[in-house]
Each structure stands twice: as structure tokens, then as C-alpha cells.
Amino acid sequence: MKAIIYARVSSVTERQTTERQISDLKSYAKYSKMEIVNVFEERISGAKRNQERPVLIQALEYCRKEHIDMILVSELSRLGRNSFEVLAVIKSLVDDKINLYIEKEKFVLLDDKKQPSIFAPIMIATLATCAQLERENIKYRLDSGRKLYIEKGGILGRKKGSFKTMEQKKEEYKDVIRMLKQGYSLRNISKLTNCSLSTVQRVKKEFI
């Protein structure tokens, strides 16, 4: 059985990595005697629309073209935190007879006849909704925390007099720099990396 791994983290910096996701899924594949033929890693917010996630699109197209049997993910939220977008991905997998394994829940989308079980739609819808609610709760807590901090006299942003070295900037914005060199438009880079348009313009001015 041929399989691929799709791993995603939200941060475009090195604060988060896909290393643990990939390691756990490779262990499962080895145990299940699957052949991992490709690994797709993406650094982008799960709130983005599917068409704004180039690596996810590439992974799905690769599965169709290469007749991949299964996609392995660590949890459903790696496919996204917008329930409607996740369900659209799931529908495309079912239509193309591509199976999905979710490590966290030990869940397999299709049975041996390449058909979803009667419980699969309920399970997927529940997990997708939970992922979206989790994201909204995190956003609410962050926004609430910032508001309280400001009300108590706190000031957001970098401390006055502090600065980043060119090497630090180069590392932090390496994805922006890579996309600039590949010819992506400034607006697309801004959307794909979650950086403001002004930041992308500044990076282009400093490094390209």
C-alpha cells in the first residue's frame, strides 16, 4: 500500500516543527507495512481556505496522479480548522477513493471496499467542528488577554530600542524570501505566510 504524509504547523518561523508529526506517522506506516512515497510539510494557518494552501493542493494532486492509497495525518485539524474547508477535502478523498488515517483518533476513513462507514460522516463532522471551535476559543483568549494587558497600561509590539539582526530577519522570513525569489506576487505571499503586505514589501527591499 502506497501512502503519503501530510504535516502542518501554523507558524512560519521555527517555533513549531513538523518533526514529531512525521516521526509518529512513519512509525505507524512501518507497523502497518505501508510504503511512504512522499512527505508534504506546510507552514500555514489552518484557518486558510484550501485554495490558499499550496502544499495541501500539491499533496492532493499528487495522490490522484500517483494513485496513492492513503494520506496519513496526525490529527484532523492538520487538514484545517475551518469545518467547511475540511469537509470539502474529505469529500474529494471519498470521491477519488483515497483513504485517510488520523493518528490521534486511530481513525480510518474508508473500509476495505473503499467506502466510508456509516459513522464516518458523523465522526469527521464532529472532529472538524471541534477543531474550528478550538481555534475560535484560542483566538478569543488571545484577544481578551491583549485587551486586558492594554487596559492595565501594557504596550504591545517590540520594546523601544530593540532590533533584530539581518541574520535573525533572514531566518524569520525565510519563507517570504523563498517565495519572492520564486516570483510569487506580494499579495499572495502575504496571504500564504500570514505576514502583512508592508512586511513583505520591507523584506523584499532588504533581501531581494
Question: What's the per-residue H, E or C state across 73-99?
Answer: ECCHHHHCCCHHHHHHHHHHHHHCCCE
3-state secondary structure of 40: strand
Q: 5 pairs with which residues across the strands?
A: 39, 72
What percentage of the chain carries pLDDT values higher than 90? 37
Query: Which of 27-31, 144-148, 198-202 has the lowest average pLDDT?
Result: 144-148
DSSP count for the chain of H helices, then E strands: 8, 5
Cα 172 to Cα 90, 131, 207, 208, distances in angstroms: 33, 27, 12, 15
Whether the per-residue pLDDT at 145 is higher than 80: the answer is no
- Return the biggest CA–CA distance within the chain: 64
What mean pLDDT is predicted for residues 23-47?
93
138 pLDDT tier (thresholds 50, 70, 90): low
In this structure, which topology does domain 2-130 adopt according to CATH?
Answer: Rossmann fold (3.40.50)
pLDDT single digits (tens) 70-97: 999 999 889 888 888 888 899 999 999 9
**Residue 72: its pLDDT value, please?**
98
Report d(CA 46, CA 134) in Å as an integer: 11
Q: 42 pairs with which residues across the strands?
A: 8
